[in-house]
Structure 1
Amino acid sequence: MPKVGMKELREQQLIDATLESVAQYGLHNTTIVTISRLAGLSSGIISHYFGGKQGLVDATVKHLLSQLKVALLEHTQDRVLTHEQRLIAIIEANFSQTQRSVAATKTWLSFWAQSMHELGLARLQHINNRRLYSNLLHSYRHILDSESAVIAAKQTAAMIDGCWLRSALSPRPEEEFSQALALCKKFIKDLLAYSA
């Protein structure tokens, strides 16, 4: 009889190994063998828990998305925030350490590229885009008129994604991520000051 919690532990081991494999070899060269070797588990367990490599890749992307949600909750839960502070918290969550680690950045970059070719990943990308936009729009609607709020949410989402991407591709990503975080925060402050 399997131990209680063993399934969740093994699944997390495989997700962590997938992140590490993508960081080392890229998504295209990540295989069931590279993942199972890094996880220290048999390759058959991947099929058992995830149905194969693609199922594990999907689960890994969902893990990154859930980490993004957790980061946002850490910045907002049980706190009384102004709408501007909530916008800043959204930015901080998108630039949290979990989202800018080497393993996460390489996986996100591979995921974005592959989502153009795989329906399941495209769906996850659409969910991620909608969630960011919806979170931003919710706060902007309390500060700006309806049309301005839509424009501001789209601009801010583009600013976050663009700055994150440029930072991830930089030869000095840690320095660039810190600057990008500051730039995105300034963007919101300037936008709101201009709109006041």
Structure 2
Amino acid sequence: MPKVGMEPMRRQQLIDATIEVVAEVGLGGATINLISRRAGMSSGIISHYFGGKQALIEASVRYLLAKLKMEQSPDTPYERLMKIVDLNFSEVQQADSSTKTWLSFWGRSMHDPNLYRLQELNKRRLVSNLRYSFKQLLAPEQAKDAAEITAALIDGFWLRCALSRTNKARFAVAKSHCKKYIDDVLTLHGVK
């Protein structure tokens, strides 16, 4: 008889193992056997908890996406904008295993409809969250443009840092550039 409360722990162990294995060998090389071995479990447990490798990969991507959500929304639109930038450059998003998993995921999402859907969801959520805060500070058209540009800066700077395998200082500089853009836009429009 399975122990009560073990399922969430085991699911997380498999997600963590998936992220580690994908970071080492890419999505194509991440087999059920490698993942289950890394998690210290039998290969059948993946089917039991997730139904298969594809669902486990999607769960792992959703886990990384969840790390981009705010636990509590800051009080002001400006603080919320800064928090969005902070989350996208957080320690979790800078970790070598996360960056390699994101890069593998983005590459595979061009050919996999389910992963593409998750990527589109992530992209739309980032722009929507930025636009929501900018709309409280700027005219609607300005807010729309500022949100699109800020999202592109976040993704672009993060991608450059991840691809160059730079140190934490480089991620900090990238985060600073994104925050400076927000400050500059708000100053330009007389908000700050």
Q: Same fold (TM over 0.5)?
A: yes
Match 1:88 to one of 82, 92, 95: 82
Aligned to 1:146: 140
Aligned to 1:98: 92
Aligned residues: 190
Counterpart CA distance in 1 for 2:173 and 2:4 is 44
Aligned to 2:64: 64
Contact 1:170 1:176 in 2 (8 A): no
Counterpart CA distance in 2 for 1:36 and 1:3 is 19
Q: CA RMSD in A?
A: 1.1
Aligned to 1:43: 43
- Normalised to the residue count of structure 1, the TM-score between the two structures is 0.93
- Normalised to the residue count of structure 2, the TM-score between the two structures is 0.95
Aligned to 1:182: 176
1:26 positional shift: 1.4
Counterpart CA distance in 1 for 2:5 and 2:97 is 25
Aligned to 2:31: 31
Tell me the amino acid that sits aligned with residue 63 of structure 1: Y
Q: Deviations over 1:1-46 (max 9, x none)?
A: 2211111111111000001101111111111111011101001111
1:99 positional shift: 1.1
1:131 positional shift: 0.8
**Matched-pair identity in %:** 54
Aligned to 2:22: 22
Tell me the amino acid that sits aligned with residue 35 of structure 1: I
Counterpart CA distance in 2 for 1:152 and 1:189 is 11
Counterpart CA distance in 1 for 2:26 and 2:105 is 10
Counterpart CA distance in 2 for 1:191 and 1:173 is 28
Counterpart CA distance in 2 for 1:165 and 1:43 is 33
Matched, 1:55 2:55: yes
Counterpart CA distance in 1 for 2:82 and 2:165 is 26
Secondary structure, aligned partner of 2:110: coil
1:175 positional shift: 2.3
Aligned to 1:115: 109
Secondary structure, aligned partner of 1:68: coil
Alignment of 1:125-140 (within 5 A): 125-140=119-134
Aligned to 1:162: 156
Secondary structure, aligned partner of 1:114: helix
Q: Deviations over 1:27-69 (max 9, x none)?
A: 1111111101110100111111111111110010011111111
Secondary structure, aligned partner of 2:164: coil
Contact 1:17 1:36 in 2 (8 A): yes
Contact 1:83 1:140 in 2 (8 A): yes
